[in-house]
Structure formats: C-alpha cells, structure tokens
Amino acid sequence: MVMGASGRACRANDDVEEHSRARIVSVARTAALNMDEFLQIAIREAEQGLREGGIPIGAVLVHDGKVLGQGHNRRVQRGSAILHAEMDALENAGRQKADVYARCVMYTTLSPCVMCAGGPVGVRSTSCRIRRASI
C-alpha cells in the first residue's frame, strides 16, 4: 500500500488510475471550452436562418478543433425537402477523406432527425459525434 494523491492509502495502480482520471477531467474541461465556441457558431447559423425567413437551426462540422463546414436549415428558403442544417454543413465542408469524417464532431442547435443523424454514417464516419445546444 502507498499513499495516493488524495491522501488515502491505495495500491500503486489506484494512484495511476487517479492520475488518469484527473487528466481526463482536464481534457474534458478544455473540450468544453471549445464546444462552447462551436455551439456559438451553430447558434449564429440558426440566427442567420431565421433572418432569411427560414427555420432557425444551425450546425457546424468540426475536425480536430477546426471548422470544416457550417450551415443552417434552408428548407424554406430553397424549397428543399432535405436541406437541413446538418446537410448544409456537410455540403459546405466539401469532400473529405473518410478518416477525416471519422474524427469529426457535428454541433447542432437541435437534435438531428434520422436522416441527419445518419448523414455522418453515410460518409463512413462511424465515430462522428453529435453535440447540440437548445435555443
């Protein structure tokens, strides 16, 4: 037994696990700061859609901390059945390699529909994560 960082007796493995948990929390806090930035972009996109007379939903596709594409719902403006914010963001991101999509995060202002949730999967992004904010 050894003394862990918390001051309690533990096995050496516990101390390593405790350090790992602390590192994960630190990384999560940094990610949360970035998430707020990207959600703000999505909210600005939603506001733009509202100004255009459309449905106020925005989305941002982010890869390794860099915005690849952003967009807003344009169904009303363009008379489209499928131009949701997520699809607009994917379209604005341009063609990317599958491994890029696999490391992307889609930030949206509304939970995506089945079509939009499947969009990243359709471009072989089995690990594309979706974050959302309510406005």
CB burial class (10 A; 0-12, 13-18, 19+) of residue 111? exposed
- In whole angstroms, give the CA distance from residue 129 to residue 135: 20
Output phi, psi for 94, to 5 deg. 75, 180
On whether the CB atoms of residues 74 and 49 are closer than 8 A, the answer is: yes
Q: Kindly name the residue from 18, 47, 52, 86 that is annotated as catalytic.
A: 86
Edge-to-edge strands of the sheet including 66-72? 66-72, 58-63, 104-108, 129-132
Any catalytic annotation for residue 86?
Answer: yes
Enzyme catalytic residues: 86
